Structure 1
Amino acid sequence: MGFGDWLSRTFGGSEPEPAPLPKPPGEPEILASLEHVDRLLADSGASPLVRSRVTRIGRTIREILPRLATLGVGSQDAYAVVATATNYLPESVAAYLRLPRDWADSRPIDGGRTALMVLIDQLELLRSSMDSMLDAAVHADAQALIAQGRFLDAKFGRVTPTVPDTAPAPPPAASSSSNTLDLG
């Protein structure tokens, strides 16, 4: 029992209510964050290398959003998608954009790599991770399709498609007329 507990018991005070946890970002906040990054890049004159990678990451996150629950509410995968959209991607891009363009693109800052190279590496890592998250989210839908096919097969049996007979008709049988050759 701590001193605060003793005071509360002695003087009749109640325990202070813990502050409520903030609600995790939902789809509107995620989309707003991606749009913010797009605006930052549009106004910055950033390299097309950066813009194309950020665009791809944003497109992948937008594809994942309708399937986010498929990854599992509160799962590490769902968290990674939300954090990438609302934190990792915006922070990486903003840190790069705070640097003067010419300096960032030409001066080594980390083991001979320029800020542009460092950012490209970060964006490639985020892209690869989001591609994996999309695969995981879509995998559940693909499994549902497979399960439905197995159900239908069990219910109705395998039906093989019929192909119309397009083979040419056999030639007419040779008659014993004078058109036959006698070789013998």
Structure 2
Amino acid sequence: MRALLFLYGNGNILGCALALAGPALLFAGVIDRGWLAITAGLYVGGWLLGRRAPELERRIEDSLSLEETLRRLDEVVARASPHLTEDMRHSLESVRGLVVEVLPQLMDAGAGGDDLFTVRETVLRYLPETLANYVALPPAFRVTQPLKDGKTARQLLGEQLGLLDAKLREVVANLAASDAAALVANGRFLEKKFRQPDFLEG
């Protein structure tokens, strides 16, 4: 798997693209001796330029105010958005709106064994970490390499975000109805689906 990540990585792709200039310059007569070293140097330069993946915040601290928590969540979503499909962005926008509705209760859940504790953990920990792990994957790898159940990282993330959206809608409804049993069920479902945020681990 590490070999595939390297092969599909932006650094390797950019390095290979720049390295092609070496033989091209040789055939054009621009360079002669030392063309192999020049080609290798071009590859290394491309690899260094392209290897750095965007970094997203992996967890939003429990101690922040409601406003700061929402701002940090917005930052995570904004940085991840360029790497997501339209459907993923739509799901995240919906999740964000639902979080605004339940944010006070989610933050209060940190004080004890509240029914909302797992829901809060999903929003503040598992969601940012899942997005960060997805964005860290090479773009070509996300859409071509089958992972769990033969699905690509893009397909898996799309399903997870859709499920999170649906479950948070249930949480909002259950909060309005003060249905504690349903909230426990919601939390357990979210924990099962999001507790393994690394796409490379089945």
Q: What TM-score, normalized by structure 1, do the two folds share?
A: 0.53
Q: Find the counterpart in structure 2 of residue 123 from structure 1.
A: 161
Q: Find the counterpart in structure 2 of residue 32 from structure 1.
A: 71
How many angstroms apart in 2 are the aligned matches of 1:92 and 1:104?
A: 13
Amino acid at match of 2:157: L
Q: Could you tell me whether the CA contact under 8 Å between 1:104 and 1:114 is conserved in 2? A: yes
Q: Are 2:175 and 1:134 equivalent residues in the alignment?
A: no
Q: Give the aligned length.
A: 118
Moved over 6 A (4+): 69-72
Question: Structure 2 matches for 1:163-174, cutoff 5 A?
Answer: none
CA shift at 1:32, angstroms? 2.5
In 2 relative to 1, CA 32–77 (structure 1 residues): closer, same or farther, beyond 3 Å? farther
In 2 relative to 1, CA 68–26 (structure 1 residues): closer, same or farther, beyond 3 Å? same
Superimposed CA distance per residue, residues 16-63 of structure 1 (whole angstroms, 9 cap, x where no aligned partner): xxxxxx964441343033212222123x34211221111111111111
2:149 to 101, 111, 118: 111
In structure 2, list runs of 5 or more residues that go unmatched: 1-60, 179-202
CA shift at 1:100, angstroms? 2.0
How many angstroms apart in 2 are the aligned matches of 1:118 and 1:133?
A: 22
Query: What secondary structure, in the 3-state scheme, does the structure 2 residue paired with 1:135 have?
Result: helix
Q: Find the counterpart in structure 1 of residue 80 from structure 2.
A: 41
How many angstroms apart in 1 are the aligned matches of 2:158 and 2:130?
A: 10
How many angstroms apart in 2 are the aligned matches of 1:99 and 1:41?
A: 12
Question: Structure 2 matches for 1:79-94, cutoff 5 A?
Answer: 79-94=117-132
Superimposed CA distance per residue, residues 161-181 of structure 1 (whole angstroms, 9 cap, x where no aligned partner): xxxxxxxxxxxxxxxxxxxxx
Which has the larger helix fraction?
2
Amino acid at match of 1:92: T
CA shift at 1:130, angstroms? 1.5
Q: Find the counterpart in structure 2 of residue 99 from structure 1.
A: 137
Q: Find the counterpart in structure 1 of residue 115 from structure 2.
A: 77
Query: What secondary structure, in the 3-state scheme, does the structure 2 residue paired with 1:92 have?
Result: helix
Query: What secondary structure, in the 3-state scheme, does the structure 1 residue paired with 2:115 have?
Result: helix
Question: Structure 2 matches for 1:3-82, cutoff 5 A?
Answer: 24-42=63-81, 44-68=82-106, 74-82=112-120
Q: Find the counterpart in structure 2 of residue 180 from structure 1.
A: none
How many angstroms apart in 2 are the aligned matches of 1:63 and 1:129?
A: 14
Of structures 1 and 2, the larger Rg is shown by 1
How many angstroms apart in 1 are the aligned matches of 2:108 and 2:70?
A: 18
Query: What secondary structure, in the 3-state scheme, does the structure 1 residue paired with 2:147 have?
Result: strand
CA shift at 1:73, angstroms? 5.6
In structure 1, list runs of 5 or more residues that go unmatched: 1-21, 141-184
CA shift at 1:118, angstroms? 1.3
User: Identity of aligned pairs, percent?
Assistant: 26
